[in-house]
Amino acid sequence: MKLHEYQSKEIFRNYGIPTPEGIMCNTPEEASKAVRQFQTAAIKAQVLVGGRGKAGGIAIATPENATETALRIMGLTIKGLPVGKVLVEQSVDIKQEFYLSIALDRTSRRPLLIASASGGVDIEEVARTSPDLIHKELIDPETGPQPEQLEHTATGLGISDVTSLSGMVNSLYTIYDELDCTLAEINPLVLTGDGGLVALDAKINIDDNALFRQLAMQQLYEKNLEDLDPLEVQVKKLGMSYVAMDGDIGCIVNGAGLALATLDMISREGGTPANFMDVRGGADAFHVGRAVEITASNPRTKVMLINMFGGLTLCDEIAEGIHDTLQGLDIPVVVRLTGTNQEKGWEILKDAKVSVAQSTAEAAGIAVGLVS
């Protein structure tokens, strides 16, 4: 579950993390009024996707151009989501930018503190091009961040005020821990001209599986449904996962690991995914069929790649869901089906208009070829 920036910053402030003064606005007129109050301000699109800056969704405004700037930003559609509201924030005197986050490290199954002196940019790009600029500390969930870890982090960032940074990290970790986060991120964390540390941006992702005990987050979840991709909303209601992308190959899988492998193979073959849909283990024919329908309804999807392993979900169940839903679809479909009852599944699909592959690599190659 993703939170808007303004929602994340409200949580930050409740836990003692400084943020710029800001006003939420639902119209260009409200935004213009807010800018006049601050004189110079940032107008920031509030959408539940990344890449706002590259899409033109963040801009500095003055009273003279505030209305024009707000009109432009509120007229944007960023990664398929229209901008319905903006956050107007007091401009900040920035001396230096950093990156700071607490994320779930799935390998060690522990919280991971990640920090970098290269803030305000895509941290994954920094990790790829300049890994030496990334500082990491695994955190023991029984003790939280330790003083020596905080000192190492401050040294790694070149921050002399260890006390202020330690308070920031401890607050961020408390948010991560108490709200069942998978990510609590500040990018950028800025050192201001007067020596203070301020969270200029904020991102919080909550573990969907923990919402039953996070009543306040449940309320935000319901509120934010109207701001999500309609396809993502449909999938969430079915208990499945959906991530929209910018390509043209619609992907249906069962399992996050298989999803990542499928996306990697598509990229290796020169293709680009339109989405990935994870029906998760134990899905029946109905859920597989709904996954096919939803993926096909994405106007970007030119080819559908279904890569499924029969374990908790049996291959014949998967095949029935695919077969019963393919009627009326006019896009090519590639299926790789292996595991329990795979022969039964292949028999069900033998008269269906699908391309059958024996491996993920073969399926990706066929799908990319069908697009071109």
Which residues form the catalytic set?
99, 185
- Do the Cβ atoms of 120 and 187 come closer than 8 Å? yes
What DSSP character marks residue 62? -
HEC secondary structure over 195-243: CCEEECCCEEEECHHHHHHCHHHHHHHHHHHHHCCHHHHHHHHCCCEEE
Contact of 139 with 149, CB cutoff 8 Å: yes
Between helix 256-268 and helix 360-371 the angle, nearest 10°, is 50
Asked if residues 250 and 235 have their Cβ atoms less than 8 Å apart, the reply is no
For residue 243 the two structure tokens come to 């991530």
DSSP assignment of 146-160, as one string?
Answer: -HHHHHHHHHHHT-S
Spatial distance between the Cα atoms of 50 and 81, rounded to a whole number of angstroms = 11
Give the end-to-end CA distance of the chain in Å, rounded to a whole number.
35
- Please tell me whether residue 187 adopts helix, strand or coil conformation: strand
Buried-exposed string 170-206: b where 16+ CB fall within 10 A, e elsewhere: ebbbbbbeebbbbbbbbbbbbbbeeeebbbbbbbbbb
CA–CA separation, 317 and 2 (whole Å):
32
Q: How far apart are CA 129 and CA 131, in angstroms?
A: 6
Residue positions counted in the chain = 372
Sign of the CA dihedral running 10, 15, 17, 21: positive
166 near 149, Cβ under 8 Å?
Answer: no
